[in-house]
Amino acid sequence: ARHLLGIEPLSPPEITSILDLADSYVDLNRRTIKHSDALAGMTQINMFFENSTRTQSSFELAGKRLGADVMNMSMQTSSVKKGETLIDTALTLNAMRPDLLVVRHPQSGAVDLLSEKVNCAVLNAGDGRHEHPTQALLDALTIRRAKGRLHRLTVAICGDIAHSRVARSNLILLGKMESRIRLVGPATLMPAGAGEFGCEIYEDMREGLADADVVMMLRLQKERMDGGFIPSEREYYHRWGLDAEKLAHAKPDAIVMHPGPMNRGVEIDGTIADDINRSVIQDQVEMGVAVRMAAMDLLARNLRAERGRAMAEGT
């Protein structure tokens, strides 16, 4: 494929190839991420129309570790602020002949639309409530490294499912890889049609976490809420926040995940987030660099092959 716009179009073997390549970038002895020249001579532009700490910095590091020229567009100081549209911005950058565009945008579908207007590879770094494919891939790599497999694991995804592109990409990916998925949270934060993805739905945390192998907590995405869904953060924490008592219902070796950014004391107790025997939150961040390297490496190979064919055909 030319682009990575979501998990939806990927087959299980394609997901496995990305994870295998990402794994090969992790140096086991030094516990670091290797360097390569897979993107040497290529230009990567990061366009983030929404705030980011992890995704933007790890895409930048990943591009640099692969030898690309990496440019971070500062959307706050760009001509978008003067009214330039997403498409005009993309066409302007496209004229500078980038090879890879990494895009985050608050509107679902905006990255797909942009990909139709440019002739480089586009990677979705999160669009509205739609998809965050590299997050789901780095989560899968983290789970696979901790548990040795993805199939026949019980994964409880907890909290604000309705507004979460992370939850959506994860449940698509984990479903394709034959994990058993539970969605756990208040009915007001369950998306309509959640059952169609073949997952079990729970409102009670203790029931939802019973014998789970993986507990994935999500942030309350207040920026996507129209207001007035939860009584208070205190009550939310009491019912759906992950604390030691609720976690005790999961398997004794269950891992705890959170994509970040995390609100301690709202969806998760800080002690659990920092417990290196249970929490793999920092591993998720580390795997983010490896997964983004793998995704860009594979897209660059496809791009080179496509350009080679076009040269051969004289087009």
**Contacting residues toward ligand CP, per CB under 6 A:** 52-55, 126, 135, 259-261
Token pair of 7, please? Answer: 């998990």
Q: Which residues contribute to the annotated binding site?
A: 54-55, 82, 104, 132, 135, 165, 219, 260-261
d(CA 16, CA 10): 10
- What per-residue string of b and e applies to 161-188 under the rule 16 or more CB within 10 Å gives b? bbbbbbbbbbbbbbbbbebbbbbbbbee
| Cross-strand bridge partners of residue 217 | 158
DSSP-derived 3-state class of residue 71: strand
Closer CB to ligand CP, residue 190 or residue 287? 287
Strand order in the sheet with 100-105: 69-73, 43-48, 100-105, 121-127
Burial category of 155 from C-beta neighbours within 10 Å (exposed 0-12, middle 13-18, buried 19 and up): buried
Among candidate residues 228, 240, 238, the one with its CA nearest the CA of residue 204: 240
Among candidate residues 23, 27, 98, the one with its CA nearest the CA of residue 68: 98
Closer CB to ligand CP, residue 57 or residue 78? 57
Minimum CB–partner distance for residue 305 and ligand CP (Å): 30
Give yes or no for a contact between 216 and 234, defined as CB atoms under 8 angstroms apart. no
Closer CB to ligand CP, residue 157 or residue 303? 157
d(CA 91, CA 298): 24
Minimum CB–partner distance for residue 176 and ligand CP (Å): 21
Minimum CB–partner distance for residue 34 and ligand CP (Å): 23
Closer CB to ligand CP, residue 101 or residue 303? 101
Minimum CB–partner distance for residue 235 and ligand CP (Å): 25
Number of neighbours of residue 126 by Cβ within 10 angstroms:
25
Minimum CB–partner distance for residue 259 and ligand CP (Å): 4
Closer CB to ligand CP, residue 63 or residue 259? 259
d(CA 172, CA 133): 10
| Cross-strand bridge partners of residue 46 | 72, 102
DSSP-derived 3-state class of residue 178: coil
Residue whose CB is nearest to ligand CP in the complex, by number: 55
Minimum CB–partner distance for residue 54 and ligand CP (Å): 4
Q: Which residues contribute to the annotated binding site for carbamoyl phosphate?
A: 54-55, 104, 132, 135, 260-261
Minimum CB–partner distance for residue 51 and ligand CP (Å): 7
Q: Which residues contribute to the annotated binding site for L-aspartate?
A: 82, 165, 219
Closer CB to ligand CP, residue 55 or residue 154? 55
Closer CB to ligand CP, residue 153 or residue 218? 218
DSSP-assigned letters across all residues of 154-205: EEEEES--TT-HHHHHHHHHHHHTT-EEEEES-GGGSPTTGGGGT-EEES-H
